[in-house]
Amino acid sequence: MKKELRLFFTALSFYSRLPGPVNLHQNNAHNLPDSIRYLPVVGWIIGFVTAGVFIGATYLFGEAIAILLVMVASVLLTGAFHEDGFADVCDGFGGGWAKEKILNIMKDSRLGTYGVVGLILLMGLKFAALLQLFTETFIDANMITVIGLFIVAHALSRFAAITIVFNHSYARIEESKASGAVEKGKPVNLILAGIFTLIPLIALTVYLAQPALLLIIVPVLLFSLYLGAYFKKWIGGYTGDCLGAVQQLTEVIVYLSYILIWKFT
């Protein structure tokens, strides 16, 4: 149990800005490969907190402002970890035409035009999708539904990033400042991560009595497979920035899928 707690707090401290017991997550670099199993659980926490922000802010200000505050909360909770990766991917693949050039651009801490435009479009699409979701698709959704929708989105999008780790090789392991975070570790990590992802999805499906909700897995995994193949084609694998991009893009895919599922069922 102590080992699993250490792995959990390693994931929590690396993939978010949330604090944990110092004696359980200090000197934790060697735990990073196996801590990936708890990445969807970190998504549970991020989803729960952002759902709470949405519920409270909606009551006070209305849906539009609430969604903006949700996006702010998500950035604060993760330190813009995934958004930074997405922006770097936009810059790298937008401005580079060879593996080394792409990798060098992504390694550059400066933000370029592709990254800025990419972030604006991504955040705009996320805002629009959530606004439509809660003003047209799920009008007057109760607290449990809202919490479930956010938890599923954050857990499933993080699992999509994990599948990249297990399906592809890291593009520059010798240069990574956090190489342990992108090692796949043991196969049991993928299995446990999948279980932690399915728990909230199945619970929400049963609660809403909407079996079609399980179909949300299909576009998320298909899109992650496409992204994995795209990264492999251009840089021979993936980097940590690529994983951040997968998380951000598939989170939006989840919100869009919610809308489509309820529109056509």
Cα distance between residue 233 and residue 238, in whole Å = 10
Q: What is the pLDDT of residue 40?
A: 98
For residues 110-115, give the mean pLDDT: 93
Q: Is residue 96 very low, low, confident or very high in pLDDT (cuts 50, 70, 90)?
A: confident
For residues 141-146, give the mean pLDDT: 95
For residues 65-75, give the mean pLDDT: 98
Q: What is the pLDDT of residue 139?
A: 83
User: 144-192: per-residue pLDDT in tens?
Assistant: 999 999 999 999 999 999 999 999 999 875 554 445 555 667 889 999 9
- Say if residues 224 and 250 touch (Cβ distance below 8 Å): yes
Residue given tokens 């992108």 in the structure block: 182
Q: Bridge partners of 238?
A: 170
What DSSP string describes the chain? Answer: -HHHHHHHHHHHHHHSS----HHHHTT-GGGHHHHGGGHHHHHHHHHHHHHHHHHHHHHHH-HHHHHHHHHHHHHHHHTTHHHHHHHHHHHHHHH-SSHHHHHHHHH--S--HHHHHHHHHHHHHHHHHHHHIIIIISTT--HHHHHHHHHHHHHHHHHHHHHHHHHS-BS-GGG-TTGGGG----HHHHHHHHHHHHHHHHHHHHHHT-GGGGGGHHHHHHHHHHHHHHHHHHHSSB-HHHHHHHHHHHHHHHHHHHHHHHHH-
Main-chain phi, psi angles of 238, to 5 degrees: -145, 165
Q: Is residue 33 very low, low, confident or very high in pLDDT (cuts 50, 70, 90)?
A: confident
For residues 102-125, give the mean pLDDT: 94
Q: Is residue 23 very low, low, confident or very high in pLDDT (cuts 50, 70, 90)?
A: low
Q: Is residue 56 very low, low, confident or very high in pLDDT (cuts 50, 70, 90)?
A: very high
For residues 218-245, give the mean pLDDT: 96
For residues 22-33, give the mean pLDDT: 67
More confident residue, 124 or 21: 124
Q: What is the pLDDT of residue 181?
A: 56
Q: What is the pLDDT of residue 177?
A: 46
**Burial readout 55-77 (b: 16 or more C-beta within 10 A, e: otherwise):** bebbeeeebeebbbbbbebbbeb
Give the chain's radius of gyration (CA, Å).
Answer: 18
User: 235-244: per-residue pLDDT in tens?
Assistant: 999 999 999 9
Least confident of 72-76, 92-96, 209-213: 92-96
**Percent with pLDDT over 70 in the chain:** 92
